[in-house]
Structure 1
Amino acid sequence: MHTPRRVRDLGVVVGTLPPGALNAITDVPGVRVGQTTISGGDLNTGVTAILPDGYADGLPAAVAVGNGYGKLVGSTQVDELGVIETPILLTGTLSVFRVADAFLTWLLDRDPNATSLNPIVGETNDGHLSAIRRRPITPAHVHAALDSASPDLPAEGCVGAGTGTAALGFKAGIGTASRTLASLAAGVGTVGALVQSNFSGLLTVLGTPIPAQPLDADGNSCMIVVATDLPLDARQLGRLARRAIFALARVGSDYSPGGGDYAIAFTTNRTPGFADRDLRGPFQAVTESVEEALLNSLTMARTTTGHGGNSARAVPHDLIIERLRSAGVLR
């Protein structure tokens, strides 16, 4: 029986910075995550919601695009103004617009005076395992994900927006991780990441290739959400978001031209005052967090058979351990 386990529980330690208490995006104070999962038969999809406290007043933010073959609703206004004014939602490709509409209803219900809102909704294509043309996401699914948001450790693997996704030849899904930083000029801070993995390439763990049979899947994309409480401005958050996309290479992404690689980074700290010369630590924190989140999205997933009998198998944990030991990486 395959038991999902986080990659750190397998003895695989990514990088040198310490993780937060949960090793999750919710280690950033004021950040919550909620998810709704549709699983079974031809439908394997869902919604993942990231809710930072204070979003309604605008939080500094930036978007980075590695490959733009995707749909990220609301991204141009984030680029223009350098803030987010709503939570961030993730789902399957053809459900983006239904999710955005239901999301807007949820936002309007909470702000009776609003005449302009910028809901942010990202996606990857889960059509290999889910009947994507059915667009099964309803307002109830969207509202449940938002209303259930919690500061606890988010579920990973085959949940929420990652229910039907696959990456690097194996079943993937949602993953998260974090890093803490001390002795910074601006004080102690946390960087956390949550990913929706759905991209091609050769799985690589701590520099060691893990072979897999290629999947005949439509999706070759990844959505990355980075949160921090460091006092960064929008330009500096853009630099963090770009490093988040760079981190895809650390796990073996081939950056396929048929996919969309997006990162959105925000801070819950509205008091900018961080010098660019001090960004080395945050850069390391974001690349380590994203790398570990991507690996968690795989090791926490279960083998799934879905639409049309298509399947994606979970990466065997013993295969990872064997390969790392053979490479002298893992004792």
Structure 2
Amino acid sequence: MIPLRPSPRESGFGFSGTPGATNSIVDVADVSVGYWHHDGLNAQGQAFRSGVTAILPMGDAPLLRSCPAAIYSQNGNGEMTGSHWIKDSGRLNSPVLITNTHAVGAAHEAAVGWMAQRYKDLFEKDHFWAMPVVAETYDGFTNDILAMQIRPEHARLALEQAWACAERAHQLGKSPIAQGNVGGGMGMQTFGFKGGSGSSSRTIQLEGLQGTVGVFVQSNFGDRGQFCWRGRPLGRMWPHPSPFAQDMAETGSLITIVATDLPLDAKQLELVARRVPMGVALLGGSAGNYSGEITLAFSTANPREARGVMRPGALIHPVNALDESALDSVYEATVQATEEAILNALFAAQSMPTHKPLGVLHALDIELFTAFMREARPH
């Protein structure tokens, strides 16, 4: 087994804000995460380094629930299914899956089947319809993406793992989630280093009201020269080149999921989602033309039972919402957790072979990163 690499915090780097117990998106009540991935070659010798991440906004709730949600696209060169209905309804009523660009269809099929089986009465007796959220980033540098190797059964395993994690949390409490080369992040790169799945969280105290903001990223963006941290141009200082052509345009994407247990409505959640790019910019990201920067933000507060056409439910739904004067703390927490989630993905990731061009996608050298940052500290 490959040993786990230390996180930025374990390496001695401090961050603003106070993280939750696991410093990940699952610190938000009810949220759970599951993964499926493959790392290696398939039976035909094709590179198969890809996977699926599943996030359940309401965990293992026995009844399907919808929650307030919003979408923000900074640069739309990417896909997130179900986004039109989220924009119009202001609510999310499905799992969230993240995978590679050519596996969106397989993951979507899996999510529909899983929902229809898990919430059978709702679909069969109430004419409920499924429009699950499936997002993607491109892993064709490390994975033979044209082979279309991810199938619905793989995505279903990620969903089942997320459900099992939610059940286990009820018995044992929340535990840290794996990061780096896991789930949909298996084959992804960031700033020419091995990237992948990353997460972080922040707790917020607001006049007696405590809340949590959790961020999950599938990080697959940026070129080497952009990478910086705290004013230090690390990418330009790095002695080893990126395995990708130096004159090639940035090609990737960043999918970000922001969750909170604070009572925010859809409009407020859109404002929160708009703060994600600020966390990205702290590391040098600029949302290039060939990169899709898409964010989904949701709140687990004010959930309500999902209903179809036969049982429309209550005519009026009372909703509590945080006063706008308190949103500054949520914005700040989102920026902080986004920055750390991306760095967590970089620190956790392991080197892997590339598929096209052939070579190695190296993980971030943590010792070198630390040395560069130590040089930048005032003496």
In the superposition, the TM-score normalised over structure 1's length comes to 0.94
Does residue 156 of structure 1 match 2:188? no
Q: 2:216 is matched with which residue?
A: 194
Does residue 328 of structure 1 match 2:377? yes
Shift in Å, 1:11? 1.1
Cα distance between partner residues in 1 of 2:217 and 2:38? 18
1:273-288 alignment runs, 5 A limit? 273-288=321-336
Q: 2:228 is matched with which residue?
A: 204
Q: Which moved more, 1:71-80 or 1:264-273?
A: 264-273
**What do residues 71-93 of structure 1 show as CA deviations (whole Å, max 9, x unaligned)?**
11111111010110001100000
Q: Structure 1: which amino acid aligns with 2:222?
A: S
Cα distance between partner residues in 1 of 2:3 and 2:234? 18
Cα distance between partner residues in 2 of 1:208 and 1:231? 37
Shift in Å, 1:186? 6.8
Shift in Å, 1:246? 2.5
1:68 to 76, 81, 93: 76
2:340 to 273, 278, 292: 292
Q: How many residues align?
A: 328
Structure 1 residue runs without a partner (length 5+): none
Does residue 43 of structure 1 match 2:92? no
2:367 to 310, 313, 318: 318
Cα distance between partner residues in 1 of 2:54 and 2:73? 20
Cα distance between partner residues in 2 of 1:247 and 1:64? 14
> What SS does the corresponding residue of 2:20 show, helix, strand or coil?
coil
1:100 to 95, 98, 108: 108
1:47-126 alignment runs, 5 A limit? 47-53=52-58, 56-112=64-120, 113-114=122-123, 115=127, 116-126=129-139
Q: 2:278 is matched with which residue?
A: 246
* Matched-pair contact (CA < 8 Å) for 2:95–2:111: no
**What do residues 43-67 of structure 1 show as CA deviations (whole Å, max 9, x unaligned)?**
1100001112258221000010010
Structure 2 residue runs without a partner (length 5+): 42-46, 166-173, 303-318
Task: Provide closer, same or farther for how the CA distance between residues 108 and 102 of structure 1 changes in structure 2, counting only shifts above 3 A.
Answer: same
Q: Which moved more, 1:46-55 or 1:244-253?
A: 46-55
Shift in Å, 1:254? 2.5
Cα distance between partner residues in 2 of 1:5 and 1:159? 16
Q: Which moved more, 1:209-218 or 1:259-268?
A: 209-218
* Matched-pair contact (CA < 8 Å) for 1:43–1:307: no
Shift in Å, 1:292? 0.2
Cα distance between partner residues in 2 of 1:37 and 1:135? 14
Percent of residue pairs bearing the same amino acid type: 34
* Matched-pair contact (CA < 8 Å) for 1:170–1:314: yes
Cα RMSD, aligned residues only = 1.8
* Matched-pair contact (CA < 8 Å) for 1:44–1:306: no
Larger-Rg structure? 2
Q: 1:12 is matched with which residue?
A: 13
Q: 1:144 is matched with which residue?
A: 157
1:20-35 alignment runs, 5 A limit? 20-35=20-35
